[in-house]
Amino acid sequence: MMFWPFGNAFVFRYLVGVSAAVAVHSILQLMIGESRLLRKSSIIPSRNHAWLLFAGDQVLAFALMSAGSAASGVTNLNRTGIHHSSLPNFCKSLHSFCDRVAVSIAFTFFSCVLLASSVVLDVIWLCKY
């Protein structure tokens, strides 16, 4: 992974980009749901809307899992170094950065769990109606 032409920065940009897309999707759904609650109408008005939510949540959960997995692999290589090459352990000199990245990756996987629970709720709603 370290010898990939785009390097570590691409993986972390991918993580930030997917996280931003998930944040936009979640905030948009929160605002739509809040406006429907204030109007005292159904939060999910139709099966088509439920299928759209289901698909969006699932695609974003998989993308977030992919980004978190890629970032955790690169972070692990940065922590341990590569033993059969001359690449050093980067986290010795950038300890606080590596700790912040590890926390970010942990929150990424927690967000995957939240999106997966949203997918389960979408399936329950689809089974009821």
Q: For 36-48, how does the pLDDT look when each residue is reduced to its tens digit (9 = 90+)?
A: 889 988 877 888 8
Q: pLDDT band at residue 8, thresholds of 50, 70 and 90? A: low
Mean pLDDT of the chain: 82
For residue 127, the one-letter residue type is C
pLDDT at 72: 86
Instruction: Quote the pLDDT of residue 106.
Output: 92
Mean pLDDT confidence for 8-17: 84
Give 97 or 57, the one with higher predicted confidence: 57
Tokens representing residue 31 in the block: 């605002």
Distance CA 119, CA 3 (A): 36
In order, the DSSP letters of 76-111 are HHHHH--TTSS---GGGTSHHHHHHHHHHHHHHHHH
